[in-house]
Amino acid sequence: MNILVIGSGGREHAIIKSISKSKKCSKIYALPGNGGTELLADNIEGDVNDFELIKKITLKHKVSLVFVGPEDPIVNGIYDFFKSNIELKDVNIIAPSKQAGLLEGSKDFAKDFMEKYNIPTAKHKTFSVENINQADSFLESMNPPYVLKADGLAAGKGVLILKDIDEAKLELRNMIIDKKFGDSSTKVVIEEFLDGIELSCFILTDGENYKVLPFAKDYKKIGEGDTGLNTGGMGAISPVPFLDDDFLSKIQNKIIKPTISGIIKENMKYNGFVFIGLIKVDDEPYVIEYNVRMGDPETEVVLPRLKNDLVELFYSMGTPKFSDIKLNISDNHAATVILVSGGYPESYEKGKTINGLNNLSQVSVFHAGTKKKNDSFVTSGGRVLAITSMGKNFELALENSYDQIKNIKFDGMNYRKDIGFDLL
């Protein structure tokens, strides 16, 4: 069968690597893909939100499975676009509906959902122009630091954590009135700060049954010791060492089960991943956020541990076979280190030649911001490559990634040398 993968990151390269191993896979197309995906798929230029283009590609290339990587097309309703179109409705699309997309596309919606289904999360209140005058007293009733979240999508930049109450009051107005994050911040969720350690939980569901994939931990900050600006993610490990049976069963009972039953009760059409950003506070799990897709760079450590045929798994969704399939997860640990362009997550240059990719051993290289240029690759984004290794424990996996990274060079290359530092 022919498969279309939408997106251009390390996550999409990892998905393409996995599906290319399936006996069921004939040809892969990537929209727009990257330098790495070009080795396994036909890259097609275009915008991930151009649904008419996606329709054309799907019909022209007789695509029967579409994997949607990033949140934007999901939140914009790509699932509903397919299901309401006579020519596309039978195509298997791995994405939830627009309604379910609100779990990521609106923090306020997600908070209401958690409240309704009794899912532990930080206490909160939502503000907009209508009730902005009550925000000051709400802030005054809370302890610092203050967490302000733009309601809508903001490319991972919409969360501010502020120590000073006057700054929080000012930023709230910047967000709501001066539209600091455009329309995404016409509503702002203010919530209690939770002090703990974060982990990422991934569920694959067809809106009825579900499978829990390996957990992972990612490192979002640019600087060592988790300092500096937030990025898309600078590294990840899987499994998560502090996830013991007791904590896992709390997550299952207090978070995963009520989330899935909420999705069912709300009648949300779901055929994809639920990514639950969790935080462990005093041995209890809380939801920090929902995403309606896989994580990046978490996918680059989750998929290398999953031994099932991914295409078969996707195809079983919505059929009784889905509950029969057992996930076959490697006991090995996976670790990935992200190589980024100098200056990222602020401005950076592109077009730098990447050297040394042919001299690597025992690693999986997932391309993110790369382009093929003649016989080599050049940088084309902030996050450039994910270097994943496997090992008996995450320290050994990381040791290998760091060792191999010494062979890779491009102008301005930067990476964190302390992935996993907080777990030793």
Contacting residues toward ligand AMP, per CB under 6 A: 122, 147, 149, 159, 191-194, 198, 220, 277, 288-289
Q: How far is the CB of 167 from ligand GLY (least distance, A)?
A: 26
Give the nearer residue to ligand GLY in terms of CB position, either 206 or 296: 296
Q: Which is nearer to ligand AMP, 289 or 395 (CB)?
A: 289
Query: What contacts 248, CB < 8 A, 6 or more positions away?
Result: none
| 298 touching ligand GLY, by CB under 6 A | yes
391 binds, among ligand AMP, ligand GLY, none (CB under 5 to 8 A by kind): none
Q: In the complex, what is the shortest distance from the CB of residue 196 to ligand AMP, in angstroms, rounded to a whole number?
A: 8
Selection from ligand AMP, ligand GLY, none that 42 binds (CB < 5 to 8 A by kind) is: none
57 versus 398: smaller Cβ distance to ligand GLY: 398
- For position 70 contacting ligand GLY by CB under 6 A, the verdict is no
418 binds, among ligand GLY, ligand AMP, none (CB under 5 to 8 A by kind): none
CB of 236 to ligand GLY, least distance (A): 7
Three-state SS for the chain is: CEEEEEECCHHHHHHHHHHHCCCCCCEEEEEECCCCHHHCCEECCCCCCCHHHHHHHHHHCCEEEEEECCHHHHHCCHHHHHHCCCCCCCCEEECCCHHHHHHHHCHHHHHHHHHHCCCCECCEEEECHHHHHHHHHHHHCCCCCEEEEECCCCCCCCEEEECCHHHHHHHHHHHHCCCCCHHHHCCEEEECCCCCEEEEEEEEECCCCEEECCCEEECCEEECCCEEEECCCCEEEECCCCCCHHHHHHHHHHHHHHHHHHHHHCCCCCCEEEEEEEEEECCEEEEEEEECCCCCCCHHHHHHHECCCHHHHHHHCCCCHHHHCCCCECCCEEEEEEEECCCCCCCCCCCCEEECHHHCCCCEEEECCEEEECCEEEECCCEEEEEEEEECCHHHHHHHHHHHHCCCECCCCECCCCCCHHHC
| Cβ closest to ligand AMP, residue 156 vs residue 356 | 156
Compute the least distance from the CB of residue 12 to ligand GLY, in Å: 12
Does 105 participate in binding ligand GLY (rule CB under 6 A)?
A: no
d(CA 142, CA 122): 12
Which residues, listed in sequence order, are joined to residue 370 by a DSSP beta bridge? 379
Is 382 a binder of ligand GLY (CB under 6 A)?
no
Choose one: 188-196, 291-299, 380-388, 410-418; the region binding ligand GLY (CB under 6 A).
291-299
193 binds, among ligand AMP, ligand GLY, none (CB under 5 to 8 A by kind): ligand AMP
38 in contact with ligand GLY (CB under 6 A): no
Q: Which does 17 bind (CB under 5 to 8 A by kind): ligand GLY, ligand AMP, none?
A: none
List the single partner that 171 binds among ligand AMP, ligand GLY, none, CB under 5 to 8 Å by kind: none
Dihedral sign of CA atoms 201, 204, 206, 211 in order: negative
Q: Which residues, numbered 213-242, are part of the site for ligand GLY (CB under 6 A)?
A: 218, 233
Pairing of strands 197-205, 210-212: antiparallel
Examine residue 104 and tell whether it contacts ligand GLY (CB under 6 A).
no
> Closest CB to ligand AMP among 74 and 405?
74
CA distances from 140 to 136, 144, 164, 174 (A): 6, 9, 11, 18
Radius of gyration (C-alpha) of the chain in whole angstroms = 21
CB atoms within 10 A of CB 347: 8
80, 151, 191, 296: residue in contact with ligand GLY (rule CB under 6 A): 296
Q: Which of 58, 291, 388, 401 binds ligand GLY (CB under 6 A)?
A: 291
Task: Find the shortest distance in angstroms from Cβ 220 to ligand GLY.
Answer: 7
Closest separation in Å from C-beta 159 to ligand AMP = 4
The C-alpha atoms of residue 223 and residue 69 are separated, in whole angstroms, by 26
Verify binding: residue 12, ligand GLY, rule CB under 6 A.
Answer: no
Report what 295 binds from ligand AMP, ligand GLY, none; CB cut-off 5-8 Å by kind.
ligand GLY
Binding partner of residue 37 among ligand GLY, ligand AMP, none, CB cut-off 5 to 8 Å per kind:
none
Q: How far is the CB of 127 from ligand AMP (least distance, A)?
A: 16
Residue closer to ligand GLY by CB (options 36, 233) is 233
Contacts with ligand GLY, residue ranges (CB under 6 A): 218, 233, 291, 295-296, 298
